[in-house]
Amino acid sequence: MPGTAGEVEPFDAIVKLSIKAMPGARTAETLGAEREGSGVVIDASGLILTIGYLILEAGSILVVAGDGRVFPASVIGYDHATGFGLVRTAPGIASRPLALGDASTVRELTTVMVAAHPAAGGVSHACVVSRRRFTGWWEYMIENAIFTAPPRHEHSGAALVDAAGRLAGVASLWVSDALDLGVAFPGNMFVPVNLLTPQLDDLIARGRGRGPARPWLGLYSEAVEGHVVVTRVLPGAPAHKAGVRRGDVILGVGGQSIGGQSEFYRALWASGEAGATIMLHVLRDRIVRRVVVHSADRMDYLRPWVSSSSKRDS
């Protein structure tokens, strides 16, 4: 039978994050120069898990505890593949850090708790309406994402708490198609915490996930009638330098035909590590063209943040 979220109240572990991007941040245009969201204290040392886009190119971070105390924090790590971010603040900010759970136990029709900081709506209940792959327009894809309803509008970094009072996921997005049935059904997408577990030690020690970085092109795309259409090319990114344009239809990667974003990302990431040369076949003005893109590590494109982890890894 579907489980139900218990009466656990993880208020002590849920904190508010207030972030100011550093001057000249490339992400300021899309994410804003000032950002707010929630974070989850996951250990006694002051380690806070959140959704990573909040802390990209952070110049300063303030953490507001549930009792109103304010602490500075620094970036510890960010993993582009999963979207998780870690910051650290003063030890003891929470008397009851939230333990990591097992997202595989959070099945469809399970009732869960969504916990944000009080100014973002606090705690409410939701229902898991779907578990499926999520494909984003920013070269991002994860398996077994958790979709819940009803939606929370101030969701960024909110905790998904299971029936045992453990952390099962972190909120990333408001979505219009939580059921993926081709009809409007708004909800939220959560990144399952199981994607963090194998990366956690490396994120703390190195500031990034395990293994080599994936090749990154720096383009946004969307699926249109089974085709991958470029909707934006980031200035100065590898795709921009190679001449990829908005409106290009990506037909193939390295001679392999693709039929959607999932196939596009799989073919791209199978091409090697960041820095690999990627051959795109694009349709433009009714002509199929070959475009050679020298991929990069996305983190090299962003402004470096000030953190002890990034300094150690440099």
- Determine the CATH number of domain 103-195: 2.40.10.10
- If you average pLDDT over each of 206-210, 250-254, 302-306, which comes out highest? 250-254
* Tokens read off for 152: 């929370």
* CATH 2.30.42.10 assigned to 219-296: yes
Q: How far apart are CA 271 and CA 296, in angstroms?
A: 12
* Pairwise CA distance, residues 87 & 19, whole Å: 11
Question: Which helix or strand (DSSP H or E) is residue 206 part of?
Answer: helix 200-206
Helix (H) or strand (E) holding 223: strand 219-224
The conformation of residue 100, written as its DSSP 8-state character, comes to B
pLDDT of 307 over the 50 cut: no
* Three-class SS state of 306: coil
Supply the pLDDT for residue 108: 97
Instruction: Judge whether residue 296 has pLDDT over 90.
Output: yes
The residues facing 30 across adjacent strands are: none
pLDDT digits (tens, 9 = 90+) for 203-249: 999 999 888 999 999 999 999 998 999 999 999 999 999 999 999 99
- Indicate the domain borders of the chain: 11-96, 103-195, 219-296
Q: What mean pLDDT is reported for the chain?
A: 92
Cα distance between residue 108 and residue 63, in whole Å: 33
**What are the Cα distances from residue 270, in Å, to 212, 214, 220?**
12, 9, 19
Residue 10 has pLDDT above 80, yes or no: no
pLDDT in tens, 79-102: 999 999 999 999 989 999 999 999
Domains 11-96 and 103-195 equal at CATH topology level: yes
Q: What distances in angstroms separate CA 114 from CA 24, 96, 158, 159, 267, one per listed residue?
A: 34, 17, 7, 6, 35
**How far out from the chain centre does Cα 268 lie?**
19
184 half-sphere exposure, CB direction, 13 A CA radius? 0
Higher pLDDT, 314 or 305: 305
pLDDT higher than 70, residue 51 = yes
User: Topology of domain 11-96, per CATH?
Assistant: Thrombin, subunit H (2.40.10)
Q: Report residue 44's pLDDT band, with 50, 70 and 90 as the boundaries.
A: very high
pLDDT tens, 99-140?
999 999 999 999 999 999 998 999 999 999 999 999 999 999
- Please tell me whether the overall predicted TM-score, pTM, comes out greater than 0.95 for this model: no
**pLDDT tens track for 259-284:** 899 999 999 999 999 999 999 999 99
